[in-house]
Chains A and B, each alone.
Chain A
């Protein structure tokens, strides 16, 4: 099963490679990974999407906790949570496709954020599944470039990942 694991780490050089190294050394999957500083500049927040049996996920969480630079770990999938991912997708948009892509972007609540005479770049935010669905609706031959941020997420309600 897919799990979204979020953690606070010391904002130190090498912290990311400790997490990435753990996953490669122990043969765990990383489907997506994203990391950026938080409002507390001594901390970074890293979110990763992985999959495995319950036992594997338990081991992953234990091993993450064991890393000295990792301050706190939360498996968002354990509770009710919100996941979001940002995508920028550049499409070859000519002729009647210009109107078609505009309509599709509206349906998926995406924004066209860059336009040339032959291309559109659409920005879209949502759960990963929604972004997948949007890509499915486009003729693959017309996709020039796709970039996705990887999933970020928070718990719903008052539950937080903080110190």
Chain B
């Protein structure tokens, strides 16, 4: 049967199993919006209030489910507004397909109304992108887009569809298979290398597992947990890897890096074998590369060969999916005679426990102001540590990472790579849409929340019972912290003057607003916000926190992992 491009698009998404699509209409996608009205049977479109939020919401959906997020925006400003969201997904390797409308093919290149070179603008921030010039190519191009977004190292793919292609007719059949000669992601790690890695890890005297977002993306949390338990080695997670290993487990030494724990960073620094899995030796993790882990031999498992030996030269590289590689490592461990060096390991743990005893995450609990750390700890208690937590970017993000102990993967949704303020609320919307009955929290600050505050309206329209926990210190806290440390306390433009009354603002949108100011009432009021009373309501919880509090521990830029500022 002949269908229009717009109808093919809708049918294809349904055949692909897409449940939700986040978007915003405009001139160049009107045919698709019409087809959504006439043809969509299962596909649910969510109307956001800004295209950036559409992308972050799809991203939050993807992070919390593992399925690709899907976005639909118009040409020109629709596409450029989406760019920050696409770049955010790209930096964190999130599977996503973003469909952009384009001016009719006959007008491309003529500076038409709302024309922009979307393929050109998004090229550096996508895994791949397409401009569909012929309606007969539409279905297969969409298939390729989903294939690319979800396999290998995942990432966003943009498909730009001119308006005349949406109107043109063609026959449609769901393409079951797609083959791309230039794209063959690795499906299996090299067995010889895996064997070598296991030998090296068993010979270690001061080993550490350093694991990242790749374990979450590769759904390998279970295998990782088994491996760590089998070996009995300490394990640290990157910011992106939190939840891939239970934070409450005693082998877990906390997050590493710039705001990582003392014990995690020192264990890395003094280790003799690092087992890096799905992590990429980011500058926020390694600190000064010249001082990085001087004695360590490094095993690195990653699906992307370009991540290996990019920043740090490794000794045993393994390119492959972490799940498969870990499974093979486990089976070798089952068979081998070689065992971990128990005596050395006991001494190593003794050392680590000594580092751990500094209790580097302690903070003053006696002040008259609410400490942001206390707010996150209270949040953990009232949500039983089992919420989906989206965050924005800044001090509150680090507090959430440090004090909300994630025990499950896909619970922690944050913009680790790009560090996008404004990510939290829409990401929480996406997670809530995917898990309607779950507790979904957006931990944010009064700066970040204002970067996508308009989404309070979307939350009302779709009845999304997200809970916003706003750590409001009246400062762009992380900027203020750096200005305090490195710019002689010249707080240039970091003070947030003329803040709105967030309680009234929430109420104006039809939501529930609360303010918490008294440390003594923190837990009680927070528990109320998360009680069954507000189970179906969006609640904005404005917590007035200590303005002067800083995120510790901290590794200053240029320093090594062993050169931390503790308090």
Interface, chain A (partner B; CB < 8 A)? 9-10, 14, 17-18, 21, 25, 55, 58-59, 62-63, 65-66, 68-71, 163
Given A58-B309, A59-B310, A62-B306, A25–B124 Cβ distance below 8 Å?
yes
CA distance A9 to B120 in the complex (A): 18
Output the residue of B123, B148, B182, B310 with the most chain A CB within 10 A.
B182
A68–B131 CA distance with the chains assembled, in angstroms: 14
**How would you classify the secondary structure of chain A's contact residues: helix, strand, loop or mixed?**
helix
- Residues on the B chain within 8 Å of A25, using CB: 124
Q: Mind listing 13 A-B residue pairs with CB under 8 Å? A: A9-B182, A10-B182, A14-B119, A14-B131, A21-B124, A55-B309, A55-B313, A59-B309, A62-B306, A65-B305, A66-B305, A68-B180, A68-B183
- B positions within 8 Å CB-CB of A: 119-120, 123-124, 127-128, 131, 148, 180-183, 304-306, 309-310, 313
CB A58 to nearest CB in B, in angstroms, measures 7
Query: In whole Å, how far is B415's beta carbon from the nearest beta carbon of chain A?
Result: 20
A68 touches B182 (CB 8 A): yes
Give Cα A55–Cα B120 distance, bound, in whole angstroms. Answer: 29
Q: Verify A59–B313 contact, CB threshold 8 A.
A: no
Residues in chain A near residue B123, CB distance under 8 A: 14, 17-18, 21
Q: Are A62 and B119 in contact (CB under 8 A)?
A: no
Sample of 9 further A-B pairs with CB below 8 A, known A25-B124, A68-B180: A14-B123, A17-B123, A18-B123, A21-B124, A59-B310, A62-B305, A65-B305, A68-B127, A68-B148
**With a CB–CB cut-off of 8 A, which chain A residues contact B120?**
17
B182 contacts which chain A residues (CB < 8 A)? 9-10, 68-71
Contacts of A18 in B (CB 8 A): 123
Q: Which of B119, B183, B313 is the most central at the interface, judged by chain A CB atoms within 10 Å of its CB?
A: B183
Q: Which chain B positions have C-beta within 8 A of A68?
A: 127-128, 148, 180, 182-183
How far is A163 from B400 in the complex, measured between Cα atoms in Å?
A: 50
Q: How far is the CA of A71 from the CA of B148 in the complex (A)?
A: 15
A63 nearest CB neighbor, chain B only: B306
Taking the nearest CB of chain B, how far is it from the CB of A96, in angstroms?
53
Residues of B within 8 Å of A17, CB to CB, are 120, 123
**Within the complex, what minimum Cβ distance (angstroms) separates A69 from chain B?**
6
**The 10 residue pairs across chains A and B that have the minimum distance between CB atoms:** A62-B306, A71-B182, A68-B128, A62-B305, A25-B124, A63-B306, A68-B183, A66-B306, A21-B123, A21-B124
Residues of B within 8 A of A71 (CB): 181-182
Nearest-neighbor residue (CB-CB) of A13 within chain B: B131
A85 to chain B minimum Cβ distance, whole angstroms, is: 27
What residue of chain B has the Cβ atom nearest to residue A14's Cβ? B119
Residues of A within 8 A of B127 (CB): 68
B466 to chain A, nearest CB (A): 36
Q: Which residues of A contact B310 (CB under 8 A)?
A: 59
Contacts of B148 in A (CB 8 A): 68
